[in-house]
Amino acid sequence: MTLSTEPGSGPEIRIFPLPAFQDNYIWLLEKAGRVVVVDPGDAVPVLRVLDQGKLGLDAILITHHHADHVGGVAALAAAHGARVFGPAKSPFAHIDVRLREGDRVSVLGQDFSVLEVPGHTLDHIAYWCSPLGALFCGDTLFACGCGRLFEGSAAQMFASLSKIAKLPEDTRVYCAHEYTSANIRFALAVEPANLDLVLRRDECAATRQRGQPTVPSTIGLEKATNPFLRCAQATVRAAAGRRNPDAGRDEGEAFAALRAWKDVF
């Protein structure tokens, strides 16, 4: 499946998801027989594709330390000698190059910028490639949702999502889980009258019916439909305020109330 193309001449970068576990996606980028994988929680599906396609693994990009994102790193690095890039602040040990906000990673002839996006975990980073129009954001921003707060505060996550929301609207969002259907059910509880959201629900249902991934989405679609990026909207603030009177104070409080609501939805 070709989901993105590189403008200009030369071989294209192809980006496609490898399903893993219950609902994870390991993202695989390929160009001229060389591969980069993002968050390989399991080595088996990656090794299968590399073997079948006679592909070489150049690099492994890690967004955060959870086992379903790093479980395959050691086996892949050992089998292919790939360099492992990951967060400077990560407790995960098997990282060759530790990255901070503003650092750049050059793979497959493209530069990726590192964004620090704490909240789901404290070490969480995202990889953004402007020319490719692609963001790999792990468990921070999901299609129509966001990651749970396992380590960081609501304020940290809100700041991280606000940073991501400033990226160009046509940026494709490659998140690490297929959670879209459940996320849309929650989003509709927050904003039942959002027509973009109603359309998205129908499109998502049809996509899942065909057995296809609902990701990547785009920043533009997320800003139109994802309640966690819409805390400035009066309708979202009002819905958050019905859960928690403090939520009316500012956008950050509204976000915290939505996140707490989603936890028990």
Catalytic site residue 68?
yes
Give dist(CA 254, CA 265) in Å, integer: 16
DSSP 57: E
Query: Which amino acid, one-letter code, is at 31?
Result: K
Q: Does 66 bind Zn ion (CB under 5 A)?
A: yes
Give dist(CA 45, CA 218) in Å, integer: 26
Q: Does 139 bind Zn ion (CB under 5 A)?
A: yes
With contacts defined by CB under 5 A, name the span among 49-57, 128-136, 139-147, 252-260 that binds Zn ion. Answer: 139-147
Contacts of 211 (CB under 8 A, 6+ apart): none
Q: Give 66 or 259: the residue with its C-beta nearer to Zn ion.
A: 66
Q: Does 123 bind Zn ion (CB under 5 A)?
A: no
Catalytic site residue 111?
no
With contacts defined by CB under 5 A, name the span among 58-66, 102-110, 127-135, 241-249 that binds Zn ion. Answer: 58-66
Least Cβ distance, residue 183 to Zn ion (angstroms): 15
Nearest by Cα to 212 from 120, 143, 127, 262: 143
Cβ atoms 70, 63 nearer than 8 A: no
Give dist(CA 256, CA 247) in Å, integer: 8
Least Cβ distance, residue 22 to Zn ion (angstroms): 13
Q: Does 65 bind Zn ion (CB under 5 A)?
A: no
Residues that bind Zn ion (CB under 5 A): 66, 139
Active site residues: 64, 66, 68-69, 120, 139, 177
